[in-house]
Structure 1
Amino acid sequence: MRWLLMLLLVLLLGLQYRLWLGEGNLPAVWSLQEDIRAQKAVNAELEARNQALKAEVKDLKQGLSAMEERARSELGMIRRGETFFLLPDDERR
């Protein structure tokens, strides 16, 4: 009976060693799970960005209003017959 108890104790210690220090141990698994959570968050952000870009591409292909808005805001263009006013910022005064 005593040798059976010793055998079980040795097996328990061997399994505990593999669990905490061996290949594929618990701390490594926890670290990988955290990496997966972080990557899923990054993927969600990129997916939202992709959806916004898809919507913008669709809008640019279908309508002229998006193109006109982009020309006005990014290139500073105006329509024929419009008057352009440049107002100085308060910070430059």
Structure 2
Amino acid sequence: MIRWKLPLILLIVLGYLQYSLWYGKNNVYDYRDNLQVLADLHEQNAQLKDRNEQMFAEINNLQRGSEAIEERARSHLGMVKPNEYFYRIIKDPNPQSQ
């Protein structure tokens, strides 16, 4: 009688553990999904670090030199130096055929 109870109990325990592994809370599929989410977050974090480094470099340029300030004033604000002329050439997006 005892001979068949132990293997049966071990088989039931093995079945329960397999069910928990594949279909229970925090199963293998959840683990795989979480790994993908983690990889995506690492990629976003790397992109944000690159952006931050670029911003810090631009801040350092603006603090250290007047050339960066002058370039920014010219490109964003349209400022010109005294005795200097500014020309803006605008291309027609819809040229008419003649």
TM-score by length of 2: 0.86
Q: Secondary structure at the match of 1:80?
A: coil
Structure 1 segments of 4 or more deviating over 6 A?
none
Give me the identity figure in percent. 35
Which segment is superposed worse, 21-30 or 37-46?
21-30
Pairing of 1:34-73 with structure 2 (within 5 A) = 34-73=36-75
CA RMSD across the alignment: 1.4
Please say if 1:83 is aligned against 2:81: no
Q: Secondary structure at the match of 2:84?
A: coil
In 2: Cα distance, 1:10 partner to 1:88 partner: 79
Q: Which runs of 5+ in 1 are unaligned?
A: none
Deviations 1:16-56 (A, max 9, x none): 11101222211111111111101000000000000000000
Q: Which runs of 5+ in 2 are unaligned?
A: none
In 2: Cα distance, 1:51 partner to 1:60 partner: 14
TM-score by length of 1: 0.90
